[in-house]
Structure 1
Amino acid sequence: MPTQMELARRGQVTEEMKVIAQKEGVDPVFLRDKVASGKAVIFRNLTRSNITRFTAIGEGLSTKVNVNIGASTDRYNVEEEMEKVKIANEYGADTIMDLTDGGDIDYMRRQVITNAVMPVGTVPIYQVYYEMVARRKYVIDFTEDDVFRVIEKQFKDGVDYVTVHTGVTLELAKRIPKVKRLAGVVSRGGTVMAAWSLYNEKENPLYSNFDYLMELAKEYDVTLSLGDALRPGGTADAHDELHVGELMVNSRLAKRCVEKGVQVMIEGPGHMPLDQIEMDVRLEKELSGGVPYYVLGILVTDIAAGYDHIAGAIGGAIAASAGADMLCYLTPAEHLSLPTPEQVKDGLIAFKIAAHAGDMVKLGERAREIDNKMSKARGTLDWKTMFSLTLDPGRAKSIYRQYKSIEAGSCTMCGDLCVYLVLPRAIKNKSSNVSQDK
């Protein structure tokens, strides 16, 4: 069965392209051409039929937001994770990643795929790692066959994209101890692959067998997300030789994917000072030839524990405005704990705001139209419209009514001094007096 990219290169506009183009406000042919060139991807495993929220990322499209969920070795609760899926469905997540790394990983993944309305992503190396632990073997005592067996199993289950740590080559892994970093290597999957290569003195199998990985991805039309195993885990580590070296490797691999007709994107940092974010996005686009960029955060400070969703949203907005294509949300629990369902919601809303703020720069009037509607509604105290346009109507209504019993007139911040009441009354009274004088 042909993939989205293959169909695009044949000049066909798929049903998914039509639905996405209408939602984006672009010509379906525009989207088709972006997919054909590799500058946009459509997440859709050929075996999966229950997606109702089709998602594309890439050049000329709105910035998307991914929600991470998943149980850990410390806490495995299926019902709790499905509540997070429900929140992601309700509040407009564009994709969702199941990062479960303990317990019955297969069951959790299949439940997420069944219940999510949007594309689902995974990180297969987590399952490879946990299977070694469960078998009481050394955690990096897996084989290349173990890696690809898990990857294909997840493809067959219907995952739409996977993070694969292809860029941490044996050469780069050997450089890790020699590069002075404050935060070290913070990617779980990247650490596993680097440790495997160093321990076995062999090349990363995801890199050495990249052609086979592409064949598998193309068979199911799974998008490869080339992971940032060596991303900076602290702002001081941004753009060191490990970070940039891995980006260069992944950019070369991404170009191979585009040549072979495999949908691909590249993952980015991480932690980074504000003034480096725009340059980072431009660097990825230049090195990769415009392949979509999926950034994690970006966290602009390392001291916001408990509020990392805010620190990340600040960086995410800047990255989106510079051309990043998808933001991976952070929650208030980042660096501290597995998030609760409520913290998942807080992170998603924060990053939806960040994505839209970036789009107001990146896409201009296409993105600003809804803001203009909100401004008009505020100017006329049209609360019904204001609530309908916000990202969390329930929360907005609750706050509005915390000191007021009805949704009418001014809010309780200004009361009778509301600017939308005082000035119109003065103008009305002035006009009335002038009329009477005449």
Structure 2
Amino acid sequence: MTYTTQMDAARQGLITREMEQVAAKEGIVAATIRDWVAAGRVAIPANKRHRSLDACGIGTGLRTKINVNLGISKDCYDIEQEMAKVRRALELRADAIMDLSSFGKTAEFRAGLLALSPAAVGTVPIYDAIGFYDKELQEIRAEEFLEVVERHAADGVDFMTIHAGLNRDMVEKFKRNPRLTHIVSRGGSLLYAWMELNGSENPFYEHFDKILEICREYDVTLSLGDALRPGCIQDATDACQIQELITLGELTRRAWERNVQVMIEGPGHMKIDEIAANVTLQKRLCHGAPFYVLGPLVTDVAPGYDHITSAIGGAIAAAAGADFLCYVTPAEHLRLPTLADMEEGIMASRIAAHAGDLAKGLPGAAEWDRRMSQARVALDWESMFDLALDPAKARRYREESRPEHEDSCTMCGKICAMRTMNQLLKGGATL
């Protein structure tokens, strides 16, 4: 039997190599993965041309995954530096990497990324269109936007952010419902400008069937972008955000009818007490499709620390059912992230994802923490390092400040609670 996409195979009852890879990583039988892909609750981004891919699954019942954003820009055009980030992101076990390049030799960077990365690779084609055609935004034709989508698919990109929910009706709704920070999605703002300048419909919405044909041919997963995500606390959960979400739910059904896999992108900036309700709303309106969130950032006043504001929101979102966290670095809102910024963002996002998995009760999540606790009570430093999310940092901190007593650290020394209790419970003298 032949199939066009992972969803097509699943609906035919087939188990693909990619489904087997996901099953092995998650500790779930492959037939269950197949059934979840068939229903749309799990997506396996796996372009047929991404030869180096080691597939991962994203969706309900699986570990919360994290994405790392990279890419070259006009002000920071250093392909080698971005490739160094790719290598480090893979070392730190990022599940996916998005190339957000917006200037210059984007194809060269994308080819290098796809050749190197076993993690899923995503792009936002509209970012590339302006540089690729070397035209003013207004001059780009609708069919040219679609040509960039096809070029990225042919290159081997596994998932693409397509802002198809921002149609003419949504533009009018946006005008009737003013926001403090307007449209903060880069792709959304570009499309809004293009639509207004040309008096035309969003080409990604108008020609959505053509996009589905491209995605089906190469098995590209659609990441339906939230052009109207809130860019500040005040704009969260407003009429524009929710109306776009309804449209994304309709587009999800259209994609599934063509056996195209879908993820839904979500907010954004949002108060803590709104996050769980937003996850529930997305899952309901978008029929259980995997939910991919940027943060959410739970306050607007922490530039330089937005990896923390994002991790707080990401943990809450993951616990409530979000499936995929887009990392945020300390450089958010300020500059292109450095390698060090990226590392901090990845670790903050991985902590949030695991915290969410603990709350979800995913098999194996609590066992990891139990083993760390066993190592701590035994004062087994090597096991603690091995179990740590970042073993190198944990080991470095220990080495930088050696204690007098090896069964303690320099915080507590001989009055370490673990040391005291171990000695007492073994019947020995303390202190």
Give the structure-2-normalised TM-score.
Answer: 0.96
Written as runs of structure 1 = structure 2, the 5 A alignment for 1:26-425 is: 26-52=28-54, 54-132=55-133, 134=134, 137-404=135-402, 408-425=406-423
Amino acid aligned to 2:25: K
Q: What is the distance in 1 between the residues matched to 2:428 and 2:90?
A: 51
User: Aligned-pair distance for 1:430?
Assistant: 5.9
Q: What is the distance in 1 between the residues matched to 2:421 and 2:126?
A: 62
**Segments ≥4 residues shifted beyond 6 Å:** none
Contact 2:328–2:345 (CA<8 Å) still a contact in 1? Answer: yes
Amino acid aligned to 1:301: T
Corresponding residue number in structure 2 for 1:6: 8
* Residues 191, 22 of structure 1: alpha-carbon distance in 2 compared, 3 angstrom cutoff: same
User: Aligned-pair distance for 1:384?
Assistant: 1.1
Deviation string for 1:241-288 (max 9, x for gaps)?
111111111111011111221111110010000001000000011011
User: Aligned-pair distance for 1:200?
Assistant: 1.4
Contact 2:223–2:265 (CA<8 Å) still a contact in 1? Answer: yes
Contact 1:170–1:194 (CA<8 Å) still a contact in 2? Answer: no
Q: What is the distance in 1 between the residues matched to 2:250 and 2:63?
A: 26
* Residues 117, 67 of structure 1: alpha-carbon distance in 2 compared, 3 angstrom cutoff: same
Contact 2:124–2:161 (CA<8 Å) still a contact in 1? Answer: yes
Deviation string for 1:197-229 (max 9, x for gaps)?
122111111111111111110000000000011
Q: What is the distance in 2 between the residues matched to 1:375 and 1:429?
A: 22
Contact 2:40–2:261 (CA<8 Å) still a contact in 1? Answer: yes
* Residues 429, 256 of structure 1: alpha-carbon distance in 2 compared, 3 angstrom cutoff: same
Q: What is the distance in 1 between the residues matched to 2:217 and 2:361?
A: 34
* Residues 175, 129 of structure 1: alpha-carbon distance in 2 compared, 3 angstrom cutoff: farther
User: Aligned-pair distance for 1:431?
Assistant: 9.6
- The total of aligned residue pairs comes to 428
Contact 1:401–1:407 (CA<8 Å) still a contact in 2? Answer: no
Amino acid aligned to 1:104: K
Between 298-307 and 111-120, the greater mean CA deviation after superposition: 111-120
- Tell whether 2:57 aligns with 1:21: no
User: Aligned-pair distance for 1:428?
Assistant: 3.4
Between 199-208 and 349-358, the greater mean CA deviation after superposition: 199-208
Between 228-237 and 1-10, the greater mean CA deviation after superposition: 1-10
Which entry has the higher C-alpha Rg, 1 or 2? 1
Q: What is the distance in 2 between the residues matched to 1:176 and 1:49?
A: 42
For structure 2, list consecutive stretches of 5 or more residues without a partner in the other structure: none
User: Aligned-pair distance for 1:240?
Assistant: 1.1
Amino acid aligned to 1:324: A
* Residues 222, 55 of structure 1: alpha-carbon distance in 2 compared, 3 angstrom cutoff: same
User: Aligned-pair distance for 1:427?
Assistant: 3.5
Q: What is the distance in 1 between the residues matched to 2:340 and 2:405?
A: 26
Deviation string for 1:118-156 (max 9, x for gaps)?
110000001112235x3xx43222111111111111111
User: Aligned-pair distance for 1:408?
Assistant: 3.9
3-state DSSP of counterpart to 1:176: helix
Cα RMSD over matched residues? 1.6
Q: What is the distance in 2 between the residues matched to 1:356 and 1:231?
A: 25
Q: What is the distance in 1 between the residues matched to 2:262 and 2:318?
A: 19
